[in-house]
Amino acid sequence: MIIDIAQACDLVIFGAKGDLARRKLLPALYQLEKCNQIHPNTRIIGAGRANWTKEEYIETIKKTTKTFLREDIDEHIWDKLIFRVHFFNIDVFKEHYFTKLKKILNQTNNIIIYYCAVPPSAFHAIFEGLGKVNLNLFPSRIIIEKPLGVSLKTCKKINDQIAKYFLESQIFRIDHYLGKESILNLISLRFANSLFFNNWNRKMIDHIQITVSEEVGIENRWNYFDEMGQTRDMVQNHLLQILTIISMDQPKNISPTNIRNEKIKILRTLDTINIDNINEKTVRGQYTSGNIRGKKVPSYIEENGANPNSQTETFVCIRVDLKNDQWLGVPFYLRTGKRLAYKYSEIVVVFKEMPINLFNKPNNLSRNKLIIRLDPNENIKIDFFKKTPGFNEICQLTSDRIELSSSTKTTSNRIDAYERLLLESMKGSQSLFVCREETEEAWKWIDPIIDSWKKTKQNNLKLYPAGTWGPKNSDKIIMKDGRYWHEFDSK
Ligand code: BG6
C-alpha cells in the first residue's frame, strides 16, 4: 500500500563507510531531517566492516557530510539526525552477523529498508544473509543501485538472486535520474499540456536530440569505469530512461505500473544495432589530455591506475530508431561523454518544416525547436520565427527564442535526487524506481552494440581532446542525415 508520508522505518545502510553513503545518502538524510520528512521513530543503522562505536561513526560521517552538503551544518538538525543513527559492525559473508542484526531490528515494529550501498559483488551475500534469518520477509524493502550487471546475462543473474529472497514489490532499483526534478517534469510537460501532447508524433517532429555532457573525468574509479565504459555507465540506464519518458505513449494513469509498462513498450521497439549498422549508427570516443575551464587534465589512459592500452569509450553517440507508429522515421540522437567542454543535459525536439513555405526563410534559420534544459539552469525554450521588425516586407523572417520557464536553480524547494528517492522508499512508493523488465530490456538492446564494437575491434575508437564536444565523427552521424546538433548555450 502506498501512503503519502514517510513511515517509521529502520533504514539499514550496507556499505555505511563507503563513498555512496558518505557523499550522497547521509547528506540527503540530513536534508530530509531538515524538512521534517523523516518519521520521528525512524532509525538509521549504518552497517559496515569496522569495530566502531556509534560515536566514532558519527564523528566520521560528520566530517564527510560537512564536505558534501551544499550548506553549513545546522547543529540542531544534525543532533536530531544523529539521535537516530546507530552503527553495526558486519561482515556480510558471515551468517552470524545477520542473526545479531535481527536482534537489533526486532527492537521495533518499524518497516525495514535495506540500502545496498556496496559493490554488486557483495549483493548476493546480503540477499542470502537476510534470507537465512528471515529478515527478507514482506513488508521489508530493499534498495539496489547500478551497476546491475554488465550485460543481460549478468543483470539477469542479479535479478534472479534477489528474486529468490524478495518479491518484486519489495525491490527498489535506483536510477538516480528518476529522482531529478527536471526528469519528472517531462511527464507533466508531455501529458498535462495539449499544446505538446497533440504535436508529439512523427507528423510534427523531425528528430530528437538527447545530450548528457559531463566535465568530470574518471577520478578514482578507473577500474570500475574501464569495465563499464560510457555506454554501460550512462546509456543503458540514464539516457534510456530519458528516451523512454520522452517517447512513451500516454499511460492510462500515472500509477507506477502503467508508467513502467509504457516505458517497457518503448524499450522493446528500439531498432537493433548490430554489426551491419554499427558504424553508421554509433561513434565511440576516448579523451586525450586537454583543458577544462583553463585547467590542464590528463588523458583517459594517463588517469590514476590506468591501463595505457585501454580501448574503453568515454564518449558515445548513437542514432536510435524506434519501430512503432508514433515514431517511425524520427531518429533520436543520443550523445554523452566525460571530460567534455561543459556539464549540461538537454533534450532538443526539432519540429518538421512547414509543408508550404510562404516566406523568405534564409537557409541558415533553423527549424522550430523545443529545448528542454534538464541541468543546470533547468528551463524550457522555444525557437520560432517572426517577421523581421521594421519596414521590411511581411515575408522577411528572423528567428526568436522564448523562455517558457525560468530556472529553478535558486528556488528553495529544489530537491536532490537521493533525497527524493530515499523519501519515496520510506513511503513505499515504487513509481520512481526501475523494475526488473526495464533493466533487462535495456541490456537486450545494449548487448549487441557492445558485441559489435568488439567484433570491429580498434578501428572504431575515436580520440577527442578533453574540453571539446567529443570526436568530430559524432557530428557526421547527424550531418549525414542533413541535421545538426543544437548549439550549446550556457544560459
Ligand atoms: C552515474 C555515473 O550514474 O551518473 C557517473 O556512474 C556519472 O559516471 C553520473 O558521472 C552523472 O550523474 P549526474 O547526476 O551528475 O548527471
**166 within domain boundaries:** no
Residue 362 has a pLDDT of: 65
Least confident of 11-20, 370-379, 454-463: 454-463
Catalytic annotation, pick one of 76, 86, 124, 238 = 238
Residue 397 has a pLDDT of: 84
Q: Are residues 321 and 218 in the same domain?
A: yes
**341 within domain boundaries:** yes
Residue 67's domain comprises 9-145
Q: With cut-offs at 50, 70 and 90, classify the pLDDT of residue 302.
A: very high
Q: With cut-offs at 50, 70 and 90, classify the pLDDT of residue 188.
A: very high
Establish whether 486 is a catalytic residue.
no
214 CB less than 6 Å from ligand 1? yes
Residue 1 has a pLDDT of: 45
Between CA 47 and CA 291 the distance in angstroms is 41
Q: Are residues 216 and 265 in the same domain?
A: yes
Q: Are residues 326 and 469 in the same domain?
A: yes
**280 within domain boundaries:** yes
| CATH number of domain containing 56 | 3.40.50.720
233 CB less than 6 Å from ligand 1? yes
Residue ending a domain, among 96, 128, 145, is: 145
pLDDT in tens, 55-105: 999 999 998 898 888 789 999 999 999 999 999 999 999 999 999 999 999
Q: Are residues 238 and 363 in the same domain?
A: yes
**335 within domain boundaries:** yes
Question: Could you identify the atom of ligand 1 that is nearest to the CA of residue 175?
Answer: 3
**Beta partners for 143?**
115, 172
Q: Residues 125-138: what's their mean pLDDT?
A: 97
Q: Has residue 109 got a pLDDT over 80?
A: yes
pLDDT in tens, 194-223: 999 999 999 999 999 999 999 999 878 899
Closest protein CA for atom 6 of ligand 1: 233
Residue 116 has a pLDDT of: 97
Q: Residues 369-377: what's their mean pLDDT?
A: 92
216 CB less than 6 Å from ligand 1? yes
Q: Are 155 and 408 in contact (CB under 8 A)?
A: no
Question: Could you identify the atom of ligand 1 that is nearest to the CA of residue 180?
Answer: 14
**152 within domain boundaries:** no
Q: How far is the CA of 311 from the centre of ligand 1 (A)?
A: 21
Q: Has residue 409 got a pLDDT over 60?
A: no
Q: Residues 364-387: what's their mean pLDDT?
A: 88
Residue ending a domain, among 145, 170, 195, is: 145
**426 within domain boundaries:** no
Q: Has residue 183 got a pLDDT over 50?
A: yes
Residue 394 has a pLDDT of: 72
| CATH number of domain containing 218 | 3.30.360.10
Strands 332-337 and 205-213, sheet pairing:
parallel
**169 within domain boundaries:** no
Q: With cut-offs at 50, 70 and 90, classify the pLDDT of residue 458.
A: low
Q: How far is the CA of 121 from the centre of ligand 1 (A)?
A: 20
Question: Could you identify the atom of ligand 1 that is nearest to the CA of residue 214?
Answer: 10
**261 within domain boundaries:** yes
What is the total count of domains within the chain? 2
**pTM for this one?**
0.94
Q: Are residues 195 and 138 in the same domain?
A: no
Residue 2 has a pLDDT of: 45
226 CB less than 6 Å from ligand 1? no
Question: Could you identify the atom of ligand 1 that is nearest to the CA of residue 225?
Answer: 8
328 CB less than 6 Å from ligand 1? no
SS (H, E, C) the chain: CCCCCCCCEEEEEECCCCHHHHHHHHHHHHHHHHCCCCCCCCEEEEEECCCCCHHHHHHHHHHHHHHHCCCCCCHHHHHHHHHHEEEEECCCCCHHHHHHHHHHHCCCCCEEEEEECCCHHHHHHHHHHHHHCCCCCCCCEEEEECCCCCCHHHHHHHHHHHHCCCCHHHEEEECHHHHCHHHHHHHHHHHHCHHHHCCCCCCCEEEEEEEEECCCCCCCCHHHHHHHHHHHHHHHHHHHHHHHHHHCCCCCCCCHHHHHHHHHHHHHHECCCCCCCHHHHEEEEEEECEEECCEEECCHHHCCCCCCCCCCCCEEEEEECECCCCCCCCCEEEEEECCECCCEEEEEEEECCCCCCCCECCCCCCCCEEEEEEECCCEEEEEEEEECCCCCCCCEEEEEEEEEECCCCCCCCCCCHHHHHHHHHHHCCCCCCECHHHHHHHHHHHHHHHHHHHHCHHHHEEEEECCECCCCHHHHHHHCCCCCCCCCCCC
Q: Residues 98-114: what's their mean pLDDT?
A: 97
Best residue among 238, 287, 314, 414 to mutate for probing ligand 1's pocket (most ligand atoms within 8 Å of CB) is: 238
Q: Are residues 76 and 189 in the same domain?
A: no
Question: Could you identify the atom of ligand 1 that is nearest to the CA of residue 345?
Answer: 16
pLDDT in tens, 228-248: 999 999 999 999 999 999 999
Q: How far is the CA of 177 from the centre of ligand 1 (A)?
A: 9
Q: Has residue 412 got a pLDDT over 60?
A: no
Q: Are residues 253 and 112 in the same domain?
A: no
Q: Are residues 188 and 101 in the same domain?
A: no
Residue 407 has a pLDDT of: 55
State the chain's mean pLDDT as an integer.
Answer: 92
Q: Are residues 139 and 196 in the same domain?
A: no
Closest protein CA for atom 2 of ligand 1: 233
Residue ending a domain, among 145, 165, 191, is: 145
Q: Are residues 100 and 17 in the same domain?
A: yes
Q: How far is the CA of 288 from the centre of ligand 1 (A)?
A: 20
Q: How far is the CA of 422 from the centre of ligand 1 (A)?
A: 18
Q: Are residues 385 and 448 in the same domain?
A: yes
Q: How far is the CA of 344 from the centre of ligand 1 (A)?
A: 12
pLDDT in tens, 340-352: 999 999 999 999 9
Closest protein CA for atom 9 of ligand 1: 234
175 CB less than 6 Å from ligand 1? no
Q: Are residues 206 and 101 in the same domain?
A: no
Q: How far is the CA of 233 from the centre of ligand 1 (A)?
A: 8
What is the distance in angstroms between the CA of the first residue and the CA of the last residue of the chain?
Answer: 43
Residue 406 has a pLDDT of: 61
